[in-house]
Amino acid sequence: MKDIGLVGLAVSGRSTLFTALTRTGSHGGQANHAVVPVPDPRLGVLTELERSRKTVHAQVGFVDVPGGTSSAQGLARLRETDALAIVVRCFGAEAKPAADLAEVRADLLLADQAVIEPALEKARKRSRGKPSGEVEALEAANELLAAEQPLSEGGLADEAVRELKAIAPLTLKPSVVVANLEEGAEVPSELSGATGVYASIEAETAEMDPEEARALLDEFGVHRPGLESVIAASYGAIDLITFLTTGEDESRAWEVRRGAKAPEAAGVIHTDLGRGFIRAEVISYDDLVAAGSMDAAKQQGKVRVEGKEYEVREADVLHVRFAV
């Protein structure tokens, strides 16, 4: 499961977005963390197809910290997340989306400088003038931040990124921009590429029955819930894909990094499957649905047998053979 930290100025509607995404309220003064299922209509189809007893969605966590980057507690909690969603106000006549986004990014740079500079000083003392990968990584990071460049855009070597992992710099995390819109508005041109959500409208439906909420949002013209949009954008930033498993016991969604080989995906299901991987029976979701069942798909020759070098793709349905 991945955690996505929400950051934004006080006027951005960040906490309102948290309520809209998680259907839970904020708890003033405390770090708010809520885990929600990742919407995936494919699971319902597979459950019905294979008559599965359970349907298990992948999960994602959202973190909203009162004070955000202005508090030490907020920064510490945000550093534990896997990605950041920068919430930008795009409602009201006084909204200044581009300026607000620039201010948040500047805050993230300053927050990183505040931990990188003392860490570099300590690392230099420990190295006593001798070559040190830690010192080199921190020096490279410090130079980028001094030039007001986010670490994710600085071309840091993989070794340097590994050295910086313990500090968990905020500007090294994958990030997405979320445009918090008012009813009927679209993402402004200065935030091209941002994900648009209607946090205020969706937050009002947080305590409603899901079907009633969906009907009301449709009336407002909100045809894709913010949860789906933000998760899709975040998964893209983190470079995650979803693969599936199905059978009589359960139909389930799993997340794995893009480019992962079959044994790594098997290890996501269970460490024993990854360690003892022999082969995987693979079929695409679309082919399985077209066949009507796994048995029919096998009879039609649509199920492939793949080995350890197979690169798992989005919407692959896997059945892993293993021995431990």
> What's the CATH architecture for 259-322?
Roll (3.10)
* CA–CA distances in Å: residue 183 to residues 90, 198, 200: 11, 7, 9
Question: From CA 107, how far away is CA 103, in angstroms rounded?
Answer: 6
Which of 15-19, 29-33, 192-196, 263-267 has the highest average model confidence (pLDDT)? 263-267
Per-residue confidence (pLDDT) for residue 68, from 0 to 100: 67
- For 12, residues 6+ apart whose C-beta sits below 8 A from its C-beta are 87, 88, 89, 100, 180
pLDDT of 182 strictly over 80: yes
pLDDT digits (tens, 9 = 90+) for 4-52: 999 999 899 999 999 989 987 655 545 689 999 999 999 999 999 999 9
> Tell me, what's the pLDDT at 25?
64
Within 10 angstroms of residue 99's Cβ, the number of other Cβ atoms is 11
In 3-state terms, the chain is what percent helix, strand and coil (to 5)?
A: 45, 25, 30
Quote the pLDDT of residue 32: 86
